[in-house]
Structure 1
Amino acid sequence: MLLGCIGDDFTGSSDLGNTLVKAGMRVVQYSGTPAGPAAPDVEAGIVALKSRTMPVAEAVRLSLEALDWLRAQGCRQFLFKYCSTFDSTPQGNIGPVAEALADALDADRVIFCPAFPATGRTIYQGHLFVGDRLLNESGMQNHPLTPMTDPDLRRWLGLQTKGGVGHIPAATVWQGADTVRAALAAQDHRFVVTDAVRDEDLAVLGQAVADQVLLTGGSGIALGLPGNFRAQGLLSTEGPRWRGQAGPVAALSGSCSRATRSQVDRHIADGNPVLEIDPDAVLAGRTDARDAADWVLSRQGLPLVYSSADPDAVRAVQARHGTEAVAHKLDAFFAECARLLVAGGVTRLITAGGETSGAVVEGLSVEALEIGPEIDPGVPAIRAGENLVLALKSGNFGAEDFFAKAAERLAG
């Protein structure tokens, strides 16, 4: 294994896998830290955790556990992957996890770059944009778990870390990898936010950090990394393999993002069978996973079970029951629903939302995921077993017709 990656959620990890596969690496995503060794032909291993919103100490512990396993596989470089919208709170978890990893690897300079221009995420003058809007005007300010109210990544990261945060501006990045490398070495700060407004900038940054043991960012920062290994003659010339899967298909959505709500609306408008889940009914025990699974298994086409409400409705439910209680109950609902669907014969399963996708993977007890071809930017097809393929979509990703497109791509 050449590149060892630690993702703070499941959909973000598969997004990273998608980027690496497109660049020609053989990638396997693991659900948590594996107990045994990786297969010998894995070139990039991604340990996917659900650490984004858990208590800081637990997130750090699990991340260091993953790092130990990846080091044992012989990895030469390590990447801490978080969301391209830098989902965190003033307390963490991005800063504390990065500090722990940097200490363990004795890394003296670490870049932070969640940019991915292909999906509309760019960084300029240290500020994160989503499309033409600053992060705190993009809808992320209403996120139920990690509301992003400040687009200045230096300031936000500075709240989570012990030291100050440096910055490498776009003008420096545009001068090439050698200039970035020199600017990074001249920094007074251990952690450095780097601008990136074009995919070409990410390729430059990838070249510039070829000798850095640790880097952090969204999946876009990995664009330039496979080329570094290829230049050293370390990558297989065969590339990744993929085969689709026939059989029944279903979709589960727990995301409340604007993109996912638009996808749900499109799915309804196209005449597909849909079942909206009332969180109050789930928490009260009036609706359970068996009810939803039975409904899906009795439908033709692409049935969708969703609880993707608008932010005001989500806040009202959280106010009645508590944020943690709502998240835990809905995650458990979707996990059990996925298990029942697969047991009932579903072979293609689509999920929307990072927390939902993580819960589904855990509910299915899937330990290793083979990353396949891209469905939409940032979202790959995934093989999870001999007769099961998945699409694990981050809430903010995908075109309006994503559900239909994913079903077709999963079929091969």
Structure 2
Amino acid sequence: MSSITHDSKTVHEESGLLKQPKSVWAVFFASIIAFMGLGLVDPILPAIADKLEATPSQVTLLFTSYNAVMAVAMLITGAISSRLGIKWTLLSGIIVIALFSALGGLSNNIWSLVALRGGWGLGNALFVATALAAIVSLSNSGTAKAIILYEAAIGLGISVGPLLGGWLGGISWRGPFLGVATLMIIAFIGLSLFMPKAASKSSKKSKTSLADPFRALKHRSLLVFGIAAALYNFGFFTLLAYAPFVMGLDEHGLGYVFLGWGILLAITSVFMAPKLQEWMGTVKAMCTMLTLFALLLLVMGIWTSVQWVVIVAVILAGALLGNNNTLITTAVMNATTVERSTASAAYSFLRFIGGAIAPFMAGKLAELYNSHVPFIVGAGFVLVSVLFIWFNHTHIKHVDEVESAH
């Protein structure tokens, strides 16, 4: 179990989604800002390439270094949080994000910026893995609703990020980096004030070891979801990192496109995903969303040179990814009896490996062949993730039984 508990909480006493303690809202707000970092650089990718005289594949390394460091760092987050406690792990993550994003805003060449984005990824790993465990543990509305709240924070962060990135990026490409640093200072103050002191004390009974995430992956269900997420992230990050280069829009235009994408992601993750889960079951709904996403990427690959097709496809993809993110996160939380923070770290390690390889691969494929190929290859990876889930259905079907029991 997590180190933070509510003795009075029972299944019958679970309250509504919005009736949460101040500590949950503090983590929620900080999560929004942390996830802004994902979409914030989207509108300024072409501008960075222009100002720092970099190729598209070099610029996509801003996603690669961020995700690669985050993937590896996910393996140590459990060991750190079980010693520092949830509160201080979150605050440490915020400090690291603020520091590296500020330094990124002051850098003068693409390689130093890529390295600093890696440092940003370390801070995000400390924050993200712990934030999910914190919201689930501190929430008084049950695991399923807590996950929806967490996904809503992701959606809001990802949707507001590009808008802020486009607005600040229109002034200077450095603006979004310095803006995140400022917002993280506000998040630090909020968490310092509202997170309970109990959250800063880790349980003396169980300190997580560095080997725990690897042990967790011995659970076939968790391994299946992790590999499936790594595969579908090839499509996700191809869209996120390479689509800005083919839309032919300025910073503000890209900001609005990804705002639309993020809004649909946020709305579907909160309101539509639970309905799909109820109607189809977690695994079947997940496979349906991923199949539709693969088809959308294929459309982008065929009509890459038609601006409006790419723009509409990017925005619509938000709905499919919003649904899938909630479905797969819920599935991971119910896949095993492993402690949630450890399960999240193990799953995230695999997931972000896909997110690390995909952006650079997309840029390179475009340079070697043409701008259509990255999206077609991304679609192929997403379809493979669907096939992988179905071939391993016997190992994950219990997830739907756990959900129905709740």
Same fold? TM cut 0.5: no
Query: Comparing both chains, which one has the higher relative contact order based on Cα–Cα distances under 8 Å and sequence gaps of 6 or more?
Result: 2
Q: TM-score, normalised by structure 1?
A: 0.29
Query: TM-score, normalized by length of structure 2?
Result: 0.29
The structure where helix makes up a greater share of residues is 2
